[in-house]
Amino acid sequence: MIRKTLRLRTASPAQQDVPVTHVPALVYGTAWKKDQTADLVYRAIRAGFRAIDTAAQPKHYREDLVGSGIRRAIREGIVRRDELYIQTKFTSVAGQDRSNMPYDPQASISEQVHASIKSSLHNLRISETGESDDNSYIDTLVLHSPLPTLKDTIEAWTTVETYVPHHIRNVGISNCPEGTLEALYNSPQVRIKPAVVQNRFYADTGYDAAVRAFCRQHDMIYQSFWTLTANLRLLRSRPVAELANLAGISKAAAVYALVLGLQNTVVLDGTTNDAHMVDDLQSLDRIIALIEKNPDAWAAVMGEFRQLIGDP
Ligand SMILES: NC(=O)c1ccc[n+]([C@@H]2O[C@H](COP(=O)([O-])OP(=O)(O)OC[C@H]3O[C@@H](n4cnc5c(N)ncnc54)[C@H](OP(=O)(O)O)[C@@H]3O)[C@@H](O)[C@H]2O)c1
């Protein structure tokens, strides 16, 4: 089964007055888009993407231009803020370019996180005037990676928690091995459990089988990146060709569909090509129709794909 949107766990009882967050299966990725970022984000929303991933890491992301692209789409009536899922990240000093970063690297971890979130809430504000960021919110704030020690990671995490639910709805982590995820999840200091884990999906980690299993067991969404760029072998594989043929979609879209078929998974899609944007979104509908019409064929390609990636 594939769902076009997945429900995120409710992060805390304090969130009961906040609408439950849903994340679309395809999340538009904004890394490395430089000056094109605002235009590409706008085009992605116009094409139908309703989830955007960015980071407070100017080295790789123009979060300020992500905000401009979103505001343009809202201004033109293409979408409302509450129809979008917006996710950004706190990037620790190790991942930043020291000459251009959103906080003082000498500050305490907690102060770094506060400054980074303040900057993200401003960049991703809805208000055009920029006078106040009071109404600005982030659907999920992701720690871009664990910090050098678990203690530091927990300090960053518990600082993010202070913004839930009003300015931040959910908390997640990226580039996180299974052991660290488990330690974070089980820490008595962690009040709000991770809602998402964003990791590289590739052969070197056994396609992250252990992390994905932990996510399924604990009601977290696994967000896959490098899904195409690191997986030429999958792109050229038999189940991918078979699914592409059966559903009449591209091989790239077939890889995305099979990864989504692993359950509790969404895919980061950072295409810069308008035709790919539309194709990737429309292919989801085709796959869902195929699954309804021919569940046995879907089960067969899914089984073959699981075997290929060594999934239990
Ligand atoms: N947390 C982290 O540390 C981390 C690291 C890396 C990435 N990310 C996130 O993940 C996002 C995606 O990055 P990625 O590295 O997975 O890959 P990507 O930037 O999405 O690259 C996908 C590549 O595949 C090509 N492609 C061909 N056919 C396509 C199709 N039908 N649909 C989509 N792409 C197609 C794209 O080219 P065209 O542009 O010509 O379509 C592009 O060169 C990033 O923007 C970022 O938001 C996070």
pLDDT at site 13: 56
For ligand 1, whether the C-beta of 270 sits within 6 Å is yes
pLDDT at site 16: 60
Q: Which residues pair with 86 in a beta bridge?
A: 52
For ligand 1, whether the C-beta of 53 sits within 6 Å is yes
Give the integer Cα–Cα distance in Å for 34 and 97.
15
Give the Å distance between the CA of 254 and the centre of ligand 1. 15
pLDDT at site 20: 80
Phi and psi of 214, rounded to 5°? -60, -40
For the domain 19-200, what is the CATH code? Answer: 3.20.20.100
Atom of ligand 1 nearest to the CA of 227: 16
Q: Which residues pair with 53 in a beta bridge?
A: 29, 87
Give the Å distance between the CA of 267 and the centre of ligand 1. 10
Atom of ligand 1 nearest to the CA of 252: 31
For ligand 1, whether the C-beta of 174 sits within 6 Å is yes
For ligand 1, whether the C-beta of 253 sits within 6 Å is yes
Question: What's this model's pTM, rounded to 2 decimal places?
Answer: 0.97
β-strands 22-24, 5-7 pairing: antiparallel
pLDDT at site 1: 86
Within 10 angstroms of residue 20's Cβ, the number of other Cβ atoms is 11
For ligand 1, whether the C-beta of 251 sits within 6 Å is no
3-class DSSP state of 305:
helix
Residue nearest to atom 4 of ligand 1 (CA): 225
Nearest to 123 by CA among 52, 59, 196, 71: 71
Whether 121 and 136 have beta carbons less than 8 Å apart is answered as yes
For ligand 1, whether the C-beta of 227 sits within 6 Å is yes
For ligand 1, whether the C-beta of 226 sits within 6 Å is yes
Nearest to 23 by CA among 47, 3, 45: 3
Give the Å distance between the CA of 161 and the centre of ligand 1. 29
Whether 6 and 221 have beta carbons less than 8 Å apart is answered as yes
For ligand 1, whether the C-beta of 268 sits within 6 Å is yes
For ligand 1, whether the C-beta of 273 sits within 6 Å is yes
Give the integer Cα–Cα distance in Å for 244 and 238.
10
For ligand 1, whether the C-beta of 197 sits within 6 Å is no
pLDDT at site 312: 79
Give the Å distance between the CA of 269 and the centre of ligand 1. 5
Give the integer Cα–Cα distance in Å for 250 and 238.
13
pLDDT at site 134: 80
Handedness of CA 230, 22, 24, 309 (dihedral sign): positive
Tens-digit pLDDT profile for the chain (312 aa)? 899 999 987 655 555 666 688 999 999 999 999 999 999 999 999 999 999 999 999 999 999 999 999 999 999 999 999 999 999 999 999 999 999 999 999 999 999 999 999 999 999 998 877 667 888 999 999 999 999 999 999 999 999 999 998 899 999 999 999 999 999 999 999 999 999 999 999 999 999 999 999 999 999 999 999 999 999 999 999 999 999 999 999 999 999 999 999 999 999 999 999 999 999 999 999 999 999 999 999 999 999 999 999 997
Give the Å distance between the CA of 296 and the centre of ligand 1. 31
Atom of ligand 1 nearest to the CA of 276: 31
Whether 88 and 141 have beta carbons less than 8 Å apart is answered as yes
pLDDT at site 135: 87
Residue nearest to atom 11 of ligand 1 (CA): 29
